[in-house]
Amino acid sequence: MGVSGAGKTTVGAALAAQLGWDFLDADEFHPAANVAKMAAGTPLTDADRWPWLDRLNGELRAHEARGASAVLACSALKASYRARLLARLQGARLVYLRGDFDAIRTRMETRKHKYMPASLLQSQFDTLEPPADALEIDAALAVPEAVRRIAEDLARRGPLRTP
Q: What pLDDT does 88 receive? A: 94
Q: What pLDDT does 163 receive? A: 36
Task: Tell me if 47 is assigned to some domain.
Answer: yes
CATH number of domain containing 96: 3.40.50.300
Report whether 143 contacts 18 (CB < 8 A): no
Task: Tell me if 3 is assigned to some domain.
Answer: no
Digit-by-digit pLDDT tens for the chain (163 residues) are 999 889 999 999 999 999 999 999 998 999 999 988 877 878 888 999 999 999 999 999 999 999 999 999 999 999 999 999 999 998 899 999 999 988 888 877 776 655 555 566 788 898 899 999 899 999 999 999 999 999 999 988 854 444 3
Q: What pLDDT does 124 receive? A: 83
Task: Tell me if 162 is assigned to some domain.
Answer: no
Total count of domains within the chain:
1
Task: Tell me if 163 is assigned to some domain.
Answer: no
Task: Tell me if 99 is assigned to some domain.
Answer: yes
Q: What pLDDT does 24 receive? A: 98
Task: Tell me if 140 is assigned to some domain.
Answer: yes
Residue 100: give the domain boundaries. Answer: 8-154
**Which H, E and C letters describe 67-114, residue by residue?**
CCCEEEECCCCCHHHHHHHHCCCCCCCCEEEECCHHHHHHHHHHCCCC
Task: Tell me if 102 is assigned to some domain.
Answer: yes
Task: Tell me if 96 is assigned to some domain.
Answer: yes
